[in-house]
């Protein structure tokens, strides 16, 4: 399967499943920056997702702006690693599989606006950086 096929599969899976994971060796990472449960309400745009396949390829941002209503069931079992409770939200979830000594990370970013302010983008970047998540592994869905 070529990289274009993998990218297309990722896009289709995003639409169908709304969550894609990045597989990592070992247990879940220890998060440095977390926040209490978010109070975000209303429509947000699913801006990006974290997936290990994007570290090996420069991908162009897509223009796939999926609207999500908050609060919702996707928030269950997630940790908020970035939010201002108004304009953006970064959710993290990790499942550890001891028998395989591996984990699956799910990181999804939501913004109120299709084109967030530079300050909002900086705070999103900070949420990734402080928790050791590589921004090179982020696929921007909506630009």
Which domain CATH number covers 103? 2.40.128
pTM over 0.75: yes
- Average pLDDT of each block of 10 consecutive residues along the chain (143 residues)? 50 48 80 94 92 56 83 88 96 92 91 95 96 88 82
The dihedral built from the CA positions of residue 18, 116, 128 and 54, taken in this order, carries a sign that is positive
Domains in the chain: how many in total?
1
Domain of residue 125: give its range: 3-140
Residue of 108, 105, 63 whose CA lies nearest to 88 = 108
């Amino acid at each position: 399967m070529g990289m274009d096929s993998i990218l297309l599969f990722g896009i289709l899976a995003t639409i169908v499943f709304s969550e894609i994971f990045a597989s990592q060796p070992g247990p879940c990472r220890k998060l440095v920056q977390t926040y209490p449960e978010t109070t975000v309400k209303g429509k947000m745009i699913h801006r990006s997702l974290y997936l290990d396949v994007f570290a090996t390829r420069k991908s162009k941002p897509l223009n796939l702006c999926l609207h999500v209503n908050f609060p919702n069931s996707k928030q269950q079992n997630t940790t908020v690693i970035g939010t201002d409770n108004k304009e953006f939200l970064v959710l993290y979830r990790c499942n550890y599989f001891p028998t395989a000594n591996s984990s699956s990370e799910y990181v999804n970013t939501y913004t109120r606006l299709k084109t967030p302010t530079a300050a909002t983008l900086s705070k999103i970047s900070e949420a990734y950086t402080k928790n050791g998540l590589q921004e090179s592994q982020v696929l921007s869905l909506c630009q």
